[in-house]
Chains A and B, each alone.
Chain A
Amino acid sequence: EAGVAQSPRYKIIEKRQSVAFWCNPISGHATLYWYQQILGQGPKLLIQFQNNGVVDDSQLPKDRFSAERLKGVDSTLKIQPAKLEDSAVYLCASSLDRASGNEQFFGPGTRLTVL
């Protein structure tokens, strides 16, 4: 079974630039999550999708962050414009459904550096 795929693996940008991350969850997984993991901290949930609908985006900084999962499979997370404090690893995870959310499968993450 293929795992959660993410790209790119690394990205370096200047502040005020924009950046986008892509995630392909495990086939058949209805629930998709985006997390931000700052160095030395645990992952923090940014947004949760159930199929192509948003379940929770309460911790997403909506003035600069946006995410979509148009066809209920792949998802993109965008930051525009980026700030220095956005430097982190952005993790995508998926679970079979919302009730299986305790067993999430994570991708390798995208390491973002904002200069």
Chain B
Amino acid sequence: QKEVEQDPGPLSVPEGAIVSLNCTYSNSAFQYFMWYRQYSRKGPELLMYTYSSGNKEDGRFTAQVDKSSKYISLFIRDSQPSDSATYLCAMSGSGSARQLTFGSGTQLTVLP
């Protein structure tokens, strides 16, 4: 079993739709939860960063963490064609190294 599971998609939605992206994990030691966005032929870029359980909102993006269920989500409101990318969840523990364990990524296409 992988430490982090993520539905690879692909996911295709019309412009303006609400998008829900999810990851599950098995390692209880994970304390930090990130979402990275990766455009084609580019490196990942950090989108959202949360610590422990709860919600965090940044513009059209909301990240949710439910540690009791080992489940994290990213919601994108009013999705735009420019949101078309692969979304990677990533997690790390509380140790000093802060090494990231990534999911396999969900490929999202927002159709105009």
Question: Which residues does A use to contact B, with CB under 8 Å?
Answer: 4, 40-45, 48, 55-56, 91, 93, 95, 98-109, 111
Contacts and interface: CB of A to CB of B under 8 A. Distances in A.
B25 interface: no
Given A40-B8, A55-B97, A102-B92, A108 B42 contact: yes
Contact of B99 (A42, A91, A101, A103): A101
B43 A108 contact: yes
B69 interface: no
Contacts of A111: 41
B43 A103 contact: no
B62 to A, nearest CB: 18
16 contacts: A4-B43, A40-B8, A42-B6, A43-B88, A56-B99, A95-B98, A98-B96, A99-B96, A101-B100, A102-B34, A102-B100, A105-B45, A106-B43, A106-B45, A108-B42, A109-B43
A98 B43 contact: no
A27 B53 CA distance: 33
B99 A43 contact: no
A107 B88 contact: no
Contact of B104 (A41, A95, A99): A41
A93 B96 contact: no
Given A40-B105, A106-B44, A108-B41, 20 more contacts: A4-B43, A40-B8, A42-B88, A42-B90, A43-B44, A43-B88, A43-B100, A43-B102, A45-B100, A48-B99, A55-B97, A56-B97, A98-B96, A99-B98, A101-B98, A104-B46, A105-B46, A107-B43, A109-B42, A109-B43
A11 B36 CA distance: 25
